[in-house]
Amino acid sequence: MAEVNRKDNWNETWTTAAYAIFGAVGYTDKKHLSLVDVMGLTGHAFRMNIERERIGIEGPTSFPGGYILRRNLCNLGFISNMGGAPVPPTPDQLERTMAMLHETIDKGVPAIGFDLFGPEFGLIYGYDDEKQLLYAKDVTQEGTIPYDKFANPRIHVLYLITISESLPHSKYEMLRMALDMIVDHSRGREWSDADFFRDRIATGLAGYDAWIQVMKNRAADELGNAYNAGVVGDAREFAARFLQELVGGWDGANFVERKVREYAAAAAGHYEEVASAFAELRALFPFPQGGAPKDPAIADRAVLLLERARKAETAGVALLEGFLDFMKAYHSEVWVH
């Protein structure tokens, strides 16, 4: 089997939605937030979106991007705006979206877009009205995008998120909202009306069941399976790291801080186990080579690793639910008294 490698660079991630948020936040008053903070507090470190039929490469980015990213930014203490429209946009829709884009860039904060150069999230950080060009970057490249191409993306949806205002959220509030989003996602409650995604994509813990079934059916797409193993494995390493940093970063000076450390330490062990199982999966299915997920012996080995990860994450989610209940109770006490 290929060598099992673990993460040693906490300034990069496979989760481009969180990476784009991190990039934009770096130009705000919350630029002190690390990528580990952003991955944890947005819930992306705990996310799993699995395409049900073949573990397609589109799974990790198949979610209602406006709703999710705006909630992500709310967790971090930001009011955000969403622009865009079905393609082709009307002249009025395009004008409003471009006005949003100009406004945030003029303030010195990049906008978050999707499918700028590749089918991933990225940043738009400049414009040139005279040349009709945007300056942007994502994980595939950095360069310019003509205005007319931006208005007609391949995904058939014009998409833009901008940061509008920063709010003075306490670390307690940010953590409570993050846990709420993590548990909602893990239990499949994150959205209820996006049938286009729900019919094709299994989310949270249900993603394991879908993934295992595809492996048993010997139906996994080589590239997509390897990509999903990379995305989820990287995310769970961030999840374990985020929880470990809560243990070390909260000083234990009061009862709440001591309980945060207690819950985080217990949950970190489970997510470390998940990350360990995915490290082996990623060695079986390196990206972009893909490995041989349809080979019966390899697929059966993958099923065992996924079952191991599912067991650990199920225990981790149960702990996080208790953690969330505690933070909600603490929040109620603060407001009552």
Tell me what pLDDT residue 334 has. 46
**Integer CA distances (angstroms), 250 to 16, 36, 261, in order:** 28, 15, 7
| pLDDT confidence band for 194 (50 / 70 / 90) | low
- Strands (E) located in 87-175: 111-114, 121-128, 133-137, 142-146, 157-166
C-alpha distance across the termini of the chain, in Å: 58
pLDDT digits (tens, 9 = 90+) for 289-324: 999 999 999 999 999 999 999 999 999 999 999 999
pLDDT, mean of residues 260-267: 97
- How confident is the model over 53-63, as pLDDT tens digits? 999 999 999 88
Helices vs strands, H then E, count in the chain: 11, 8
Work out the percent of the chain whose per-residue pLDDT is above 70: 95
Per-residue pLDDT, 195 = 60
pTM exceeds 0.85 for this model? yes
CA dist., res. 128 & res. 146, Å (int): 10
CA gap 156, 137 in Å, rounded: 20
Integer Cα distance of 270 and 304 in angstroms: 17
| Distance (Å, whole) CA 126 – CA 82 | 18
Residue 193, pLDDT above cutoff 80: no
Tens digit of each residue's pLDDT (9 = 90 or more) over 232-241: 999 999 999 9
- Fold classification of 79-166 is Cathepsin B; Chain A (3.90.70)
Rounded distance between C-alpha atoms, residue 62 and residue 65, angstroms: 8
Domain boundaries, the chain: 36-60+170-336, 79-166
**Closest alpha carbon to 47 in 206, 175, 223, 216:** 206
Give tens-digit pLDDT for 220-253: 999 999 999 999 999 999 999 999 999 999 887 7
Contact assessment for residue 238 and residue 45, using Cβ atoms and an 8 Å cutoff: yes
| Continuous segment of H or E residues that includes residue 84 | strand 78-86
For the chain, state the CA radius of gyration: 20
Q: Residue 285's pLDDT band (boundaries 50, 70, 90)? A: very high
